């Protein structure tokens, strides 16, 4: 319950905020919004993330507010409360989570992903609302519940969360909620188009070439209902790009009307892949990611894979075909 978390925040003096590794606009926006809000009411608050912030979020000045966890040197003190945004899977904030367990009295997840059937159980008192289109909307509820007035900095952070996870209000989970919150935010966020541009209009010429080259290699099957793409490590490295630059590909493939599900396998090291899965309509794809020890949402999920690409491809396509028959 939001009220319970708000009460815990009121009772705590020192509060640590974090989000999953390879943070995205939603986790980042949520933790920054709560950070700025809690500063306003005099809390001793810090953000400690497990890895760096992608460059496209520079407009939120992340490095002025975020500290980066270093397992060898970082004392985390003894915060009264830790809030973890945009995941309920403790494995995604290791090695920080182990330290928190040892040093922090109360750990709460604030999230909108389904709890994995075979993953770790979230801590008691966590807020996990899978009907929310973004974690930012839950951060908004917490701030409202604490009666902290919005300001342009808080509003921009939450607005970033919402437009990032809904992809400019495309994926709103059949609820007016994202738009309703946005109306409140836009009383303070005076340049929403700048946020849109920073998040979605940040390509470089090289990135466009990478995307063009990659999309040309997508393989289709089952009457173009299934698609799979292999990104080699060199595809990115040759262009001086980093892994964040490959994130848009899978959503672009899903723009093809006939495609019901798509997989992108990005090779990070020889024999080691990050798989991104998407699906639409009545065709949830989370179970495939879970089968590989991954997680995510029902229609957008991912996992880390090990093996030979050709073997993995066959296995994934077979599982997708099975699902396609079922739905
Ligand atoms: Mn999210």
| Residues 196 and 210 reside in one and the same domain | no
pLDDT in tens, 151-170: 999 999 999 999 999 999 99
Bin 8: left if φ > 0, else alpha if -120 < ψ < 50, else beta: alpha
| Residues 133 and 223 reside in one and the same domain | no
> Which of 158, 174, 200 marks a domain boundary?
200
What is the distance in A from the centroid of ligand 1 to the CA of 160?
A: 11
| Residues 44 and 182 reside in one and the same domain | yes
Q: Give me the residue label for tokens 């059937």.
A: 117
Kindly indicate the confidence band of residue 212, based on its pLDDT and cuts at 50, 70 and 90: very high
Res 51: pLDDT? 94
Res 147: pLDDT? 98
| Residues 194 and 251 reside in one and the same domain | no
Average pLDDT, the chain: 95
- Domain total in the chain: 2
What is the distance in A from the centroid of ligand 1 to the CA of 116?
A: 15
| Residues 26 and 78 reside in one and the same domain | yes
Pairing status of strand 66-68 against strand 127-128: unpaired
Question: Bridge-partner residues for 237, per DSSP?
Answer: none
| Residues 173 and 66 reside in one and the same domain | yes
> Which of 200, 223, 251 marks a domain boundary?
200
> Which of 185, 200, 215 marks a domain boundary?
200
What is the distance in A from the centroid of ligand 1 to the CA of 135?
A: 5
Kindly indicate the confidence band of residue 173, based on its pLDDT and cuts at 50, 70 and 90: confident
| Residues 89 and 156 reside in one and the same domain | yes
Length of the chain as a residue count:
327
pTM: 0.92
| Residues 218 and 319 reside in one and the same domain | yes
Query: Which position has the higher pLDDT, 74 or 272?
Result: 272
Where is 81: in which H helix or E strand?
A: strand 81-85
Kindly indicate the confidence band of residue 280, based on its pLDDT and cuts at 50, 70 and 90: very high
| Residues 292 and 187 reside in one and the same domain | no
Res 119: pLDDT? 85
| Residues 83 and 185 reside in one and the same domain | yes
What is the distance in A from the centroid of ligand 1 to the CA of 127?
A: 13
Domain that holds residue 232: 205-326
pLDDT in tens, 31-73: 999 999 999 999 999 999 999 999 999 999 999 999 999 877 7
Spell out the long-range contacts of 19-22 with Cβ–Cβ below 8 A and sequence spacing 24 or more.
Answer: 19/49, 19/84, 19/85, 19/86, 19/87, 19/93, 20/84, 20/86, 20/87, 20/89, 20/92, 20/93, 21/49, 21/50, 21/51, 21/92, 21/93, 22/51, 22/243, 22/244
What is the distance in A from the centroid of ligand 1 to the CA of 112?
A: 6
Which tokens go with 191? Answer: 């340049």
């Amino acid at each position: 319950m939001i009220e319970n978390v708000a009460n815990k925040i009121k009772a705590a003096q020192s509060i640590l905020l974090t989000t999953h590794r390879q943070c995205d606009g939603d986790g980042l926006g949520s933790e920054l919004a709560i950070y700025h809000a809690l500063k306003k009411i005099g809390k001793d608050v810090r953000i400690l993330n497990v890895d760096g912030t992608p460059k496209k979020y520079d407009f939120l000045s992340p490095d002025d507010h975020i500290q980066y966890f270093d397992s060898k040197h970082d004392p985390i003190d003894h915060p009264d409360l830790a809030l973890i945004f945009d995941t309920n899977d403790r494995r995604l904030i290791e090695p920080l989570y182990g330290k928190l367990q040892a040093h922090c009295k109360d750990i709460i997840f604030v999230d909108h992903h389904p709890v994995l059937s075979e993953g770790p159980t979230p801590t008691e008192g966590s807020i996990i609302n899978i009907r929310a289109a973004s974690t930012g909307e839950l951060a908004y509820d917490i701030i409202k519940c604490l009666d902290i007035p919005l300001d342009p900095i808080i509003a921009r952070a939450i607005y970033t969360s919402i437009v990032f996870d809904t992809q400019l209000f495309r994926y709103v989970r059949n609820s007016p909620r994202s738009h309703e919150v946005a109306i409140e935010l836009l009383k303070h966020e005076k340049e929403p188009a700048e946020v849109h541009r920073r998040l979605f209009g940040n390509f470089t010429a090289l990135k466009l070439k990478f995307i063009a080259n990659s999309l040309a290699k997508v393989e289709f099957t089952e009457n173009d209902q299934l698609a799979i793409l292999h990104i080699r490590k060199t595809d990115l490295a040759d262009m001086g790009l980093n892994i964040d630059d490959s994130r848009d590909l899978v959503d672009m493939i899903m723009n093809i009307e006939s495609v019901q599900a798509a997989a992108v396998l990005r090779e990070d090291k020889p024999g080691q892949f990050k798989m991104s899965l998407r699906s639409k309509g009545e065709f949830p794809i989370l179970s495939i990611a879970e089968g590989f020890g991954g997680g995510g949402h029902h229609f957008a999920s991912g996992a880390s894979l090990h093996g030979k690409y050709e073997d993995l491809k066959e296995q994934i396509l077979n599982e997708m075909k099975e699902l396609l028959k079922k739905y």
